[in-house]
Amino acid sequence: MVKPLPSETAASAGWDLDAIVADLRRSREVLHNIRHKGSVRELPSRRALAEVVEHLSAALFPTHFGATDLTDESIDYFVGASLGQALSALAEQIRRGLRFGPAQVEAETGLEAKAAEITRTFAHQLPDIRALLVSDLQAAYEGDPAATSFAEILLSYPGVVAVLHYRLAHALHRLGVPFLARLISKIAHSQTGIDIHPAAEIGSGFFIDHGTGVVIGETAIIGNHVRLYHSVTLGAKRFAVDETGALIKGKPRHPIVEDDVVIYAGATVLGRITIGRGAVIGGNAWVTQDVAPGAVLLKAASD
């Protein structure tokens, strides 16, 4: 946080701060007000959400992301403490994020009750989320000959870090707090260079090898046991607009990737097309039409 200069120092500098501050207030409040509904000041915090993800990661994988000296006697206490910290902080962030959700709750008491309900539901989903993450770890171990252990994968593979964030963010997105989910996905993006929209649907056993530059769009659907390499894009080919020319939000526009597909580095797959089960897309391919199940595509395929 930037510390303001002492007032006497600022005044002596001759910068006419009172006038500038007044003009900035006028910009914020009158001329260029960009606050939600023109008034919402209380926003979710990326820093708080990053800490929530850290505590959740420690609860899901305590010997990897938690303490180094855990024993059979202490591990459950550690998990409980980590969950307690994570869920309390998450409930507050959900309360703030609900003002930006599809079903907005106006009353403060309503926000608190709804946030508690969502947090409780999310918490009970954590065992299933962990099961999905273990399937992702298994896919990484089986898909990368350089992998020597699950611990190595969990602690050093950026693709796994991004998918962990995605699994948590996707659950929150489905529970009605898309703003928070988006922030969590962007925390992972800044850490790993992998951009997965939390609304995308991704099956079990998902592996992103190397990972940097991967982009998975909002309406993408990915099946089970899919493997992507770095710089793969699952993007939109074009954007639908209404009669005024404004973009239509949420329209399906990203690919469907069926089970057991492999997409190699640099491939770009665009539009609401289907990559059939067991297909292989070669590196740097440009794909804008359906690919048949089991096909091997080594060059560009477009309409």
**Using CA atoms, how far apart are residues 292 and 3, in angstroms rounded to an integer?**
59
pLDDT of residue 138: 97
Q: Domain-by-domain residue ranges, the chain?
A: 42-193, 213-303
Q: What is the pLDDT of residues 196-246, one digit of tens each?
A: 999 999 999 999 999 899 999 999 999 999 999 999 999 999 877 888 878
**Using CA atoms, how far apart are residues 269 and 234, in angstroms rounded to an integer?**
5
Please tell me the CATH superfamily of domain 213-303, with its number: Hexapeptide repeat proteins (2.160.10.10)
Q: What is the pLDDT of residues 4-48, one digit of tens each?
A: 655 555 555 678 898 988 988 888 888 877 666 555 668 899 999
CA neighbor of 93 nearest in space, from 54, 40, 44: 44
CATH class of the domain defined by 42-193: mainly alpha
Higher pLDDT, 302 or 161: 161
- Non-local (6+) Cβ contacts of 100 within 8 A are 36, 40, 178, 179
H helices of the chain, in order, are 7-13, 17-26, 46-60, 62-65, 75-97, 108-143, 150-156, 158-174, 178-192
Q: What is the crossing angle of helices 75-97 and 46-60, to 10°?
A: 150
Which DSSP category does 12 fall into?
H
